[in-house]
Amino acid sequence: MRQLADIPHPEAKITLFSWNGKYLIKLEKGQLEQTYKVSELDVTSDEDVRELLDSEFLQAAVARFTQMRTDLQAAFDRHGL
């Protein structure tokens, strides 16, 4: 796996990788992580992948982190952990 870029964002760490014919977009916030895979056949370059990271996509991803945290906490609560 080859790291192509760290993409600055105030609410999440975003890293772009190239691996096995795919671009991987990895978003991290605290202990949570989201990874999106984009086939190299679907875009012409990593610049196209960066274009996907528009404000609408990133707002949804950050909101998803909140839901992920809520889901994990609910599982802990259900099991008394």
Return all residues near 39 (Cβ < 8 A) that are at least 6 apart: 21, 22, 23
Residue 6, φ and ψ in degrees, nearest 5: -105, 125
Q: pTM for this structure?
A: 0.92
Alpha carbon distance 29, 11 (integer Å): 7
Domains of the chain, residue spans: 2-78
Residues 28-80 have pLDDT tens digits of 999 999 999 999 999 999 999 999 999 999 999 999 999 999 999 999 999 99
